[in-house]
Amino acid sequence: MRDTNLRSVVKGISWRAVASFDTFVLGYLIFGNIVYASTIAGFELLTKVALFFLHERLWNVIKAGRLPDGTVAPWRSLVKSISYRFWGSLDTTILSYLVTGNIMFSFFLSGAEIFTKIALYYLHERVWSKVKWGRVFDEKKVVVAAEK
C-alpha cells in the first residue's frame, strides 16, 4: 500500500488549517500582537505545506506500521507526529524570529507548539488513517489476502 501525491497534498492542506489556527492562537498569547501572530501563521502556510508534503512522501516509503486494511498502527502516527514536530519547530522558530526579532519568545512559541502540535498531529493522523481515499493497494498482496 502507498499513498498518492494528491492524498498527501489534501492531507497537508487539512493539517495546515488546524496547525495554523493553533500557531495563531499561541502566537497571539505569547507575543500579545495580532499582527505578529497572523504574519507568522501566514508565512507558515507557505513553508509548512511544503515541509508536510516532503515529510509525507518520506513516510510513504516507510512501510512499518501500515496495516493490510489500509489503516496504520497508532504507534506509527505517534512517531510521525514527533518526527514532523522537529522540522515544524525549527520552521516556527526561524519564522517567528524573522517576523518579531525576539529570539526568546520565538523559542517560547516553538516550545509551546511541541505539546499542542504533537497532540493535534496525532489526532489528525488517526482521522486520516481511517480514510481510504488516495491509498493505492498492491494488487498481488490484495489478491493473495483475498484468496486466504
Confidence of residue 125 (pLDDT cuts 50, 70, 90): confident
The highest-confidence range among 33-37, 56-60, 117-121, by mean pLDDT, is 33-37
Cβ–Cβ < 8 Å for 124, 17: no
pLDDT more than 90, % of the chain: 45
**Using one digit for the tens of pLDDT, what is the confidence trace for 68-100?**
877 788 898 888 888 888 899 999 999 999 999
**Dihedral angle over CA of 43, 44, 46, 51, nearest 10:** 150
User: pTM of the entire structure?
Assistant: 0.74
Q: Which amino acid is at 132?
A: K
> Which helix (H) or strand (E) is 42 found in, with range?
helix 34-61
Cβ–Cβ < 8 Å for 122, 81: yes
CB count in 10 Å sphere of residue 44: 22
**pLDDT tops 60 at residue 29:** yes
Query: What does the block give as the cell for 80?
Result: 510521525
Mean pLDDT of the chain: 87
Q: Where in the chain are the domains?
A: 2-147
Cβ–Cβ < 8 Å for 36, 23: no
Angle between the 34-61 and 5-31 helix axes, to the nearest 10 degrees?
150
